[in-house]
Chain A
């Protein structure tokens, strides 16, 4: 995703690409809308998982790919969003709508607190502080038995009648994913998004141009936290249970791998990464219990031979190599 492509200089190519993208997305959405009538319920469920994961990965990429920040523990906001819904639905008599609204908001609030400290640091130190504070949230959820049921997680979370069938969950996750992707795309193309790119590519110069680098980074962090929390809400709809593993460091690493696999510099990269990883883990799981070994080898190949990601490889952007 490049700042240059939206400038007048590259207009023809930019316009063609925009139409192509629009056409592809429209076709894709039409196919996806028809999906539940074509495939078995299990695959419908699997696709709902893909949508949830895609939203999560795309939200991370706002910070990682566009902001260039080494955010190592994005799973925390996913987990916080999911746990917020789970706790409200099982411990209080508040309506479902409140839970759904509060999920992303609480995640964004936690992101604000964690981000407020992290944006003071740079590079690896930023990453390590996200790791430390993220692990802190994980440990609290893991230990606070009275509220979170600790290691066991919360199961059989009640949801409204109209969200009990696999198909309705499928359409809900699909619609929310599409809306969120549009919003995230518009954010990435907005003056804010472009300024964020500038702070990634040259923080010092941005600073001297009068851009408040920290505030832009914090805003991106909070937006990413919000959408990760929304993905957490979707997770609850799909699985109707939560567990501390949602916030585990391994989960966060998995999201990072998805972003890398699709391509950090391309908006739809993380979505592609999510599609590949979710399906692959399912298929590999049919044949062997050593999925992590397969994932490890895959990641190794990716880093050594395709560091720009799959979409990044095909879409030659004029952009400076993205990421951290």
Chain B
């Protein structure tokens, strides 16, 4: 095991952690504010990837296609989320966990077949834009440029979320709604509009995650199932509703998975579940303070 292999694997793990973070940050926001367990979050992520693919195909897989896809796909997913929230979710806010969970699961089933109907079942792939292709060398380790790009985007998203939640009026209302919804209502703020905003923002983040992962993987059915269980575990390990907890546990999961692939490739698939299980057993309430 030389340093270069270890470093590049760590690098890949970290950048994968960034994707996990972007997706699970949306999920944890929805958890924290709406108190809804949104299984459809993985489907929104998948939709983000498929929409990004279609946009880039429309522009002939050219370099501009990717950037446009990165801009438009998350917004498209955000609009879809808004429709879901206003059309369905707002009717079940008073139901039990199980019902909310099953409602979002019904969307998983519907979205899965709709994607199959619209895009077909064959695997799809999208080009990495020229400027982010190839890799660069750092202290002898060869690191892929696209992963470096992800490592830049992740912290930008984290910073943006932090600025929004702690520095803007709207962000403060979101946090207040997470802490005490009734109080927010009493103060004359319409909390259901906050819910719509947060759900749309979560959808945007899921779509962004999907658009970002699209060039690095085969875009296929089943993307939703792969990410959603990870995202759920990340959110719970991090502490429900806590964005920073999600960041920490995303990195733990991403790096843990990457090191698993490096050291014990045969059973790497079980690593994230082992990490999640152990963390939940030793720290059942999550690494950081839950918003609940």
Contact = CB atoms under 8 A, between A and B. Distances in A.
Given A131-B232, A132-B280, A300-B88, A139 B102 contact: no
Nearest to B112: A292
B114 interface: yes
Given A70-B98, A292-B113, A299-B103, 16 more contacts: A64-B98, A125-B236, A125-B285, A128-B233, A135-B273, A250-B225, A253-B105, A256-B102, A260-B98, A290-B116, A293-B110, A296-B109, A296-B110, A303-B106, A321-B96, A324-B96
Contacts of B236: 124-125, 128
Interface in B87-129: 88, 91-92, 95-99, 101-103, 105-110, 112-114, 116-117
Nearest to A121: B284
Contact of A303 (B92, B114, B229, B266): B92
B229 A124 contact: no
Chain B residues touching A, range = 35 or more
A296 B109 CA distance: 5
A297 B280 contact: no
Kindly name the residue among A124, A293, A307 whose own CB sees the greatest number of chain B CB atoms within 10 A: A124
Interface in A245-293: 249-250, 253, 256-257, 260, 290, 292-293
Nearest to A126: B284
B170 interface: no
A139 B98 contact: no
Contact of B110 (A127, A133, A139, A297): A297
B270 A307 contact: no
B103 A303 contact: yes
A142 interface: yes
A132 B98 contact: no
Interface of B: 37, 88, 91-92, 95-99, 101-103, 105-110, 112-114, 116-117, 225, 229, 232-233, 236, 240, 266-267, 269-270, 273-274, 276-277, 280-281, 284-285
A123 interface: yes
A302 B92 CA distance: 12
A290 B110 CA distance: 9
Contact of A304 (B91, B112, B273, B285): B91
Contact of B113 (A123, A135, A290, A302): A290
Nearest to A139: B270
Contacts of A303: 92, 95, 99, 102-103, 106
Given A121-B284, A131-B229, A256-B102, A136 B110 contact: no
18 contacts: A70-B97, A128-B236, A129-B280, A132-B276, A136-B273, A139-B269, A140-B270, A256-B102, A292-B113, A293-B114, A296-B107, A296-B112, A297-B106, A297-B110, A299-B105, A304-B92, A323-B96, A324-B98
A117 B240 CA distance: 19
Contact of A129 (B91, B229, B277): B277
Contacts of B106: 295-300, 303
Given A121-B280, A132-B276, A296-B113, A307 B269 contact: no
Contact of B270 (A143, A290, A302): A143
Contacts of B117: 290
A323 B116 CA distance: 33
Contacts of B107: 296, 300
A321 B113 CA distance: 33
Q: Is the interface of B mostly helix, strand, loop or mixed?
A: helix
Q: Which 5 A-B pairs have the closest CB atoms?
A: A296-B109, A293-B113, A299-B106, A296-B110, A136-B273
A23 to B, nearest CB: 32
B88 A299 contact: no
B225 A136 contact: no
A135 B280 CA distance: 14
Nearest to A134: B273
Nearest to B232: A128
A205 interface: no
Contacts of B240: 124
Given A290-B116, A299-B106, A300-B88, A124 B97 contact: yes
Given A260-B98, A292-B109, A323-B98, A300 B103 contact: yes
A212 interface: no
A260 B102 contact: yes
A133 B277 contact: yes
A286 B39 CA distance: 29
A79 to B, nearest CB: 15
Contacts of B274: 136
B97 A293 contact: no
A308 to B, nearest CB: 10
A155 interface: no
A51 B37 CA distance: 32
Given A296-B107, A299-B102, A143 B267 contact: yes
